[in-house]
Amino acid sequence: MTDVDPNLGRRLSNRYDLVSLLGYGSMGRVYEARDMLLGGVPVAVKFLSQTLLNNRMRQRFEREAMTCALLGQRSIHIVRVTDYGVNEDEIPYYVMECLKGQNLSEIASRQSLTIPRFLSLIRQICLGLQCAHQGILIEQEVCPIIHRDIKPSNILIVQDESLGELAKILDFGIAKLLQEDAGATNCFMGTLPYSSPEQMEGRELDPRSDIYSLGIMMFQLLSGKMPLHVDTHTFGGWYKAHHHQMPRSFQSVNADLKIPKVLESLIMSCLEKSPGDRPQSVVEILKALEPLEQRFGTGRQIGQRIGEALSKVQVTPHQPTDRISGSTKGVCALATWPKTMPIADIVFPNLIKTDEGHQATLWVMLPHDEIQKRASCTRYNQFLFLEAPHPMMLWLTVLYSTLAGPKWMPSYLDLKSPQGQQIARVLCNTGEYKILLFSQENPNRCASMLTSTIADPQRRLMQVWISTSQLSNTTSHASLSKNILKAELEKLKPKVLMKLESIYNTVDQDLSG
């Protein structure tokens, strides 16, 4: 008969009902719980594996937990911590977002990763590490955060309906916390096969230690084998391996494995014994991955991701008139086509200032007859995001009517530029935008104005995209990202059109009936 877990069924801190055990390891146990203060929202609660024996340790834990919480707000690739505390037995815990997925250890145990999938996940992990290594401002001091336990089981892979596979790093700062608490007993905290030589020595660590662990993990994910081998799984055995054993080559562990030489060299450089011989920052790794992603990664995967996003069409059927505030209406009435823009069938985004604040607008020029045909139309919008090779958002609007068919109005926002970020923020905050229609025959005044609303899930995603873009160091290849989005949109237009026609016909029947 198995022992009953005493935590199951209890309420923690008069708030979290512990429902089931999700997993356990050297760091502690993780439970699925319900946050009763928020109406039973699912969360994950992690109890650390040892008690807090004094106030100094309690303060250190609170600092580390707060740091994890701040990191999770800055990067979508770090699991978000929402609360922390200590139970009646002085065992520390922290509360995280509850995510459904698998860790990389479970995924890699079934089969080695393909090159495109590997590149996508490693880039995301690097973005999370980059955010941590850059540091968090705490009490007017920038505190760089070293993970100290990068390994496949600490990387959670979840499915995002727009971004596809999303990698999230677990347990930031916890290894350091436990190691300092165990310092008096000379206890090593970490995972032996993934620990850097300097970590085995108990030295003060910097980002290059995480890079070494990342190199071990990258080798394993591609080959299914570890680059180092020991006869006995002991501290002494791994100490010798990390300090003196040369890493095996990919060919030696699998002669049939085809790894690009550039990628193999990058991974081997991460496995150098001396920190000074490794890449000195995660930024260097991200730069080295860029040409590989262009060759193997983004272009082959983005079509599927965009296709799935486009299948969830946001439609505003038949709205012949718009209620707008006087201040917005006044600005639109005074709007004239910019002299810097050609008199042609084009579309561009713009911000206009009203008494109520900034308003996002889409300026469109069409022949007068076409504007007349679209006085009553179905409106569709979708926002798609491409993180690599350059953060770019496609802002797609379609006006559809049986008289004129679809009018495709794509606009592209560079989310590394201040203007692109500002427009995206306004769209996210207001949840709507105005479509200003100008006729080619009389561009001196706005001929018509429509309103298009943005679905709440899209607004939440947009906020994530803005944050992701701010953390990205990519400063090139904007045109490549734009061209990828353009090409994939062309492939998917027939699918969107079928959806619009189906919805439009249904609406017609309802209205006429």
What value does the mean pLDDT take over residues 40-65? Answer: 74
Phi, psi angle pair for 355, to nearest 5°: -65, -20
Q: Are 337 and 443 in contact (CB under 8 A)?
A: yes
Of the residues 149, 171, 181, 210, which is catalytic? 149
Higher pLDDT, 206 or 58: 206
210: annotated active-site residue = no
Identity at 97, one-letter amino acid code: E
Please give the mean pLDDT across all residues of the chain: 81
pLDDT band of residue 184 (cuts 50, 70, 90) is very low
Residue 9 backbone class (left: φ over 0; alpha: ψ -120 to 50; beta: rest): left
What value does the mean pLDDT take over residues 371-386? Answer: 83
**Percentage of the chain lying above the pLDDT 70 cut:** 80
Higher pLDDT, 160 or 16: 16
Joined tokens for residue 215? 């190199």
Does the pLDDT value for residue 313 go beyond 80?
no
Question: Which among 11-25, 164-178, 329-343, 480-494 has the top mean pLDDT?
Answer: 11-25
Q: Is the preceding omega at residue 197 within 30 degrees of 0, hence cis?
A: no
DSSP E strands: which ranges in 257-337?
314-316
CA 239 vs. chain centroid, Å, equals 36
Largest CA distance in the chain: 85
Rounded Cα gap, residues 106 and 153, in angstroms: 7
Higher pLDDT, 148 or 26: 148
Does the pLDDT value for residue 14 go beyond 90?
no
What pLDDT, on a 0 to 100 scale, did the predictor assign at position 26?
60
What is the per-residue pLDDT across 434-451, written as a single tens digit (0 to 9) for each?
Answer: 999 999 998 888 888 888
What value does the mean pLDDT take over residues 111-122? Answer: 88
